[in-house]
Amino acid sequence: MMIEFKGELTDNTLKFLKKRMIRSRQKTNIFFLIFGLPMLTFLLHFIIPLKYITIVFLVLAILAVFTPYLIMIANITNFVPKCITINDGVILLTINGVIESKKIEQVKEVKDYGDYYAFTFVGFLTISSLYICQKDLLTQGTLADFESLFAGKIKKMPQKK
């Protein structure tokens, strides 16, 4: 059974995608900042006086939080999924000719927001923010097929206005 969502996302879905991508990138940036601090402190200790290292860390922390906003403002269209195909136990995501795949077994949860589904995958720092299936873009298969495929993993979310 093949299920395919293909087309342009609506403004509501794009807004959700943008927020989700920003949160995901912020978490990743903060994670690497925290785990990179000991190494960075050691290296900077030889280059910069100790009293200035705190200022450098504050600047890096601010950049870790706000850089994703700047990236998303500059080029959100480069990250919008054009097609999501589910076939033979594999989920294929197509963005501007680039294809990424995940196995169905990697799906931790599918959140149903009413107009669209948003995937969450198993694993630490896995990128799942791009995997959004807008229901009215279904071109092959049915929503019933989709829901039966992910039975037990679908979580109804409150409708946002």
Confidence of residue 54 (pLDDT cuts 50, 70, 90): confident
Averaged pLDDT of the chain: 84
Q: pLDDT per residue over 106-143, tens digit each?
A: 999 999 999 999 998 987 666 677 889 999 999 999 99
**What is residue 32's three-state secondary structure?**
helix
**pLDDT score for 160:** 64
Alpha helices in the chain (DSSP H): 11-47, 50-75, 143-149
**pLDDT score for 147:** 94
Residues of the chain with CATH 2.30.29: 3-8+80-156
Write phi, then psi, for 44 (nearest 5 degrees): -70, -25
Average pLDDT over residues 59-83: 75
Could you give the C-alpha distances from 37 to 42, 45, 57, 126, 139, in angstroms and in order? 8, 12, 8, 22, 48
pLDDT at 155 over 80: yes
Structure tokens at 50: 């100790």
pLDDT at 74 over 70: no
Q: Comparing 151 with 159, which gets the higher pLDDT?
A: 151
Q: pLDDT per residue over 102-112, tens digit each?
A: 999 999 999 99
**pLDDT score for 96:** 84
**pLDDT score for 57:** 80
Instruction: Check if CATH label 3.10.450 holds for domain 3-8+80-156.
Output: no
Average pLDDT over residues 82-87: 93
Structure tokens at 139: 């071109």
Q: Where is mean pLDDT largest: 10-14, 21-25, 37-41?
A: 10-14
CA distance 41 to 43: 6
**pLDDT score for 88:** 93
**pLDDT score for 76:** 65
**pLDDT score for 112:** 95
Closest CA to 17 of 118, 121, 139: 118
> CA quadruple 113, 117, 123, 127: dihedral positive or negative?
negative
